[in-house]
Amino acid sequence: MSKMYAAIAGTGHYVPEKVLTNADLERMVETSDEWIRTRTGIGERRIAGANEFSSDMGAAAGRMALANAGVAPEDVEAIYVGTCTPDMFFPSTACLIQAALGAKRAYGFDVSAACSGFLVALDTAAAAIESGRIQNALVVGAEKLSSVTDWTQRDTCVLFGDGAGAVVLKPSDRPGVRSTLLGVDGNLDDLLYLPGGGCRHPASAESVRDRLHFIHMAGRETFKVAVTTMFEAAKEATRRAGLAIGDIDWMIFHQANLRIIDAVAQRLGGPEIARKAIVNIDRYGNTSAASIPLALSEAVADGRVKSGDKILMVAFGGGLTWGGMVVEWI
């Protein structure tokens, strides 16, 4: 029996209508367009409406991915969702997306790995397909980070936005997912975290007073660790795929900060490699687990990604978590 591989068969994405520009933020906190662009590369970000949630955005991206893959919702067998902003603790966002899509046959669950969540979910789906247990899977990254952003803190509120991306995985006789590297280091849990809401800091007057239900980040330290971690993950994922960095056609780094993306790309091979980076952080900011599938879907939609292209995807997030994956476009 020939080996079964997993390959991406369709992509989709969704962003809310509301645009929050740097000029808007200048009226909210002490900052400037020049300060934000110089330090992050962000010009604007999308903000979900009051009644628009991660499941809504994830379902919209999922519908697009299913349509592009030619898979009917009722034929979906599994839904894996990477998110750090679930609609609620339970039921999972995957359950809510399953209901919204009418994917009656599908099981599903959420993956909590912060900004690395999409790659962890994608690896989980690929393993299920390669084992022969399922024939297709919908993998979603969806975030409403505006709901956990402290809009009084200029160092963090300028960074985050809302959105979703999705892919459909199917079996293939050629390796679509060529390699995966995943990792965590819980000793770095204090670099990027959201402490409120769990059993350690449950909802209370004190947790609200202390603003524990918002994202906390040690920016300078996170930057340094992110560059090193993503560089090493990119090298190792490429090596595991049996490729050299020069063989990669496109690179999609987690869209956290343009300076991080540039630093990693330069360390991997200078300007020639940096030109292969797909970047949309200027329009969407950091959308956590949604950032990689959102960028991938846009690149597929505008024709940049073509059959045979080899795509390196790399992420890091709170935990600390990280991941690297090489995918060949079938």
Residue 74 shares a structural domain with residue 196: no
Asked whether the predicted pLDDT for residue 1 surpasses 70, the reply is no
Residue 267 shares a structural domain with residue 301: yes
Looking at the structure of the chain, the number of domains it has is 2
Cross-strand partners of 82: 111, 141
**At which of 173, 190, 216 does a domain end?**
173
Residue 78 shares a structural domain with residue 142: yes
Residue 163 shares a structural domain with residue 120: yes
Enclosing domain of residue 324: 179-328
Taking CA atoms, 174 is separated from 8, 12, 84, 178, 302, in Å, by 11, 22, 33, 9, 24
Q: Confirm whether 286 is a catalytic residue.
A: yes
**At which of 173, 205, 234 does a domain end?**
173
Q: For residue 208, what pLDDT is reported?
A: 87
Asked whether the predicted pLDDT for residue 171 surpasses 90, the reply is yes
Asked whether the predicted pLDDT for residue 2 surpasses 80, the reply is no
Asked whether the predicted pLDDT for residue 273 surpasses 90, the reply is no
Rg (CA), the chain: 19
Catalytic choice (115, 157, 257, 280): 115
H helix intervals, the chain: 22-26, 33-40, 54-69, 93-101, 117-130, 154-157, 205-209, 219-240, 258-269, 271-274, 281-284, 291-301
Residue 140 shares a structural domain with residue 26: yes
Q: What is the mean pLDDT of residues 276-303?
A: 98
Q: Confirm whether 254 is a catalytic residue.
A: yes
Query: What is the chain's mean pLDDT, rounded?
Result: 96
pTM score, whole prediction: 0.97
Structural tokens at position 282 = 């200027």
Residue 27 shares a structural domain with residue 65: yes
Catalytic choice (95, 157, 254, 257): 254
CATH number at residue 34: 3.40.47.10
Q: What is the mean pLDDT of residues 180-184?
A: 97
Residue 121 shares a structural domain with residue 212: no
Q: For residue 270, what pLDDT is reported?
A: 86
Q: Confirm whether 115 is a catalytic residue.
A: yes
Residue 227 shares a structural domain with residue 253: yes
Catalytic choice (136, 257, 280, 286): 286
Q: For residue 271, what pLDDT is reported?
A: 87
Task: Let me know: does 139 contact 121? Beta carbons within 8 Å.
Answer: yes
Residue 45 shares a structural domain with residue 113: yes
Question: What is the identity of the amino acid at 179?
Answer: S
In angstroms, the CA 174 to CA 237 distance is 18
Residue 165 shares a structural domain with residue 197: no
